[in-house]
């Protein structure tokens, strides 16, 4: 199928190839729905911020906050709408752990539990990709359910399908089932 002849003020607009990456509403992808460019940008921004705070004059708390805003924030923006594989989430978790270790000036060989355990257990309770993903998905579902419209009907139908698929009687049962998988 030939590209359409689109013009503005007589000037022909370039029509990108279906496999060319472009940015639209903050997400990077191709016209055929391949969003791997967004996932690559999320990883790269996390790496850049991780390396930025390696030799910094900031306190460990400020360094960790900088990483949370720049490194984690990029992932959080795309988490609900872009599909991430388990290996991609594990790769992000490794980068995030290294960033926390850089912030606190400890070697990368130090155990991650110091940063991920709850504060009641002596840890710093910094977020993990899986937790950020779950939070982003729940916020997305909440936004979809706010208005009486087609989106809400689709969400309710999908929830009913998921409950049936996982042999659950309620949303609470489904959450309990999810916790067993973790």
Contact, 96 vs 130, CB < 8 A? no
**What is the per-residue pLDDT for 122?**
67
Q: Give 151 or 178, the one with higher predicted confidence.
A: 151
**SS3 state of residue 52:** helix
Contact, 22 vs 28, CB < 8 A? yes
Say how many C-beta atoms besides its own lie within 10 A of residue 142's C-beta: 10
Q: What is the mean pLDDT of residues 145-150?
A: 93
**SS3 state of residue 91:** helix
Integer angstrom CA distances of residue 97 from 112, 131, 178:
6, 14, 24
Residues 8-23 have pLDDT tens digits of 898 988 877 888 888 8
């Amino acid at each position: 199928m030939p590209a359409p002849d689109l013009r503005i003020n007589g000037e022909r607009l370039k029509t990108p190839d279906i496999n060319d990456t472009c940015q639209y509403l903050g997400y990077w992808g191709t016209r055929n729905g391949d969003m791997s460019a967004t996932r690559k940008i999320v990883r790269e921004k996390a790496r850049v911020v991780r390396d930025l705070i390696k030799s910094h004059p900031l306190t460990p708390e400020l360094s960790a906050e900088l990483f949370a805003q720049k490194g984690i924030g990029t992932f959080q923006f795309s988490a609900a709408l872009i599909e991430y594989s388990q290996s991609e989430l594990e790769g992000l978790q490794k980068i995030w752990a290294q960033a926390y270790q850089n912030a606190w000036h400890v070697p990368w060989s130090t155990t991650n539990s110091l940063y991920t355990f709850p504060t009641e257990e002596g840890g710093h309770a910094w977020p993990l990709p899986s937790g950020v993903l779950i939070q982003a998905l729940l916020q997305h579902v909440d936004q979809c359910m706010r208005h009486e419209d087609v989106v809400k009907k689709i969400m309710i139908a999908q929830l009913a399908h998921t409950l049936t698929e996982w042999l659950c009687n309620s949303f609470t049962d489904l959450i309990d089932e999810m916790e067993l998988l973790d």
